A and B are shown apart, each in its own frame.
Chain A
Amino acid sequence: MNRVAVTGLGVISAVGHTASEFWHAVSHGRSGIGPIQSIAGNDLEIGVAAQVRDFDPGEHFDRARQAQMDRFAQFAVIAAREAMADSRLVDEACSAMRVATIIGTSIGGQVTQDDAYRRLYGEGRQRSHPFIVPRIMTSAPASQVTMDLGLTGPAYVVSSACASAGHAIGQAFHMIRAGAVDAALAGGAEASITYGSLKSWEALRLMAPDTCRPFSLDRRGMVLGEGAAILALEPLERAKARGATVYAELIGFGATSDASDLVRPSPEGAARAICAALEDARLNADEVDYVNAHGTGTATNDIVETDALHRAFGPHAPRLAVSSTKAVHGHALGASPALEMVATVCALRDGVAPPTANYTTPDPECDLDYVPAEAREMTMRVALSNSFAFGGLNAVLAARASDMSV
Chain B
Amino acid sequence: MLDWERQIIDRIAERSPSLGVAITPETLLDDLGIDSLDQIELIFELEEHFDVPLPYNANEPSGEKVRLVTVGDILGLVADQLGQSGAAGERSAHHAESFQVQ
A67-B99 contact given A127-B44, A127-B47, A129-B44, CB 8 Å threshold: yes
Chain A residues with CB under 8 A of B99: 67, 129, 131
In the bound complex, how far is the Cα of B102 from the Cα of A57, in angstroms? 9
List the one stretch of B23-31, B33-41, B63-71, B76-84 in contact with chain A: B33-41
Instruction: Give A52 Cβ to nearest chain B Cβ, in Å.
Output: 11
For this complex, into which size category does the number of interface residues on chain A fall? 10 to 19
In the bound complex, how far is the Cα of B11 from the Cα of A195, in angstroms? 32
Contact of B6 with A by CB under 8 A: no
In the bound complex, how far is the Cα of B102 from the Cα of A359, in angstroms? 32
Contact of B5 with A by CB under 8 A: no
Check B102 against A38 for contact (C-beta < 8 Å): yes
Q: Which of A57, A64, A127, A130 contacts B15 (CB 8 A)?
A: A64
Instruction: Give A226 Cβ to nearest chain B Cβ, in Å.
Output: 11
Contact of A111 with B by CB under 8 A: yes
0/1 interface trace, chain B 38-58, chain A, CB 8 Å (1 if under) = 101101100110000100000
Chain B residues with CB under 8 A of A38: 102
In the bound complex, how far is the Cα of B53 from the Cα of A131, in angstroms? 17
Instruction: Give B101 Cβ to nearest chain A Cβ, in Å.
Output: 5
In the bound complex, how far is the Cα of B102 from the Cα of A70, in angstroms? 9
Chain A residues with CB under 8 A of B40: 130
Contact of A74 with B by CB under 8 A: yes
In the bound complex, how far is the Cα of B44 from the Cα of A68, in angstroms? 14
Contact of A66 with B by CB under 8 A: yes
Chain A residues with CB under 8 A of B53: 127
0/1 interface trace, chain A 99-115, chain B, CB 8 Å (1 if under) = 00000000000010001
Contact of A167 with B by CB under 8 A: no
Q: Which residue of B lies closest to A123 (CB)?
A: B97
Contact of A17 with B by CB under 8 A: no
In the bound complex, how far is the Cα of B55 from the Cα of A22, in angstroms? 49
11 contacts between A and B (CB under 8 A): A57-B101, A64-B15, A67-B99, A69-B101, A71-B101, A74-B101, A111-B101, A115-B102, A129-B99, A130-B44, A131-B37
Residues of A within 8 A of B (CB): 38, 57, 63-64, 66-71, 74, 111, 115, 127, 129-131
User: Ordered nearest first, which 7 A-B pairs have the shortest CB separation?
Assistant: A130-B40, A129-B99, A130-B44, A111-B102, A66-B101, A57-B101, A130-B41
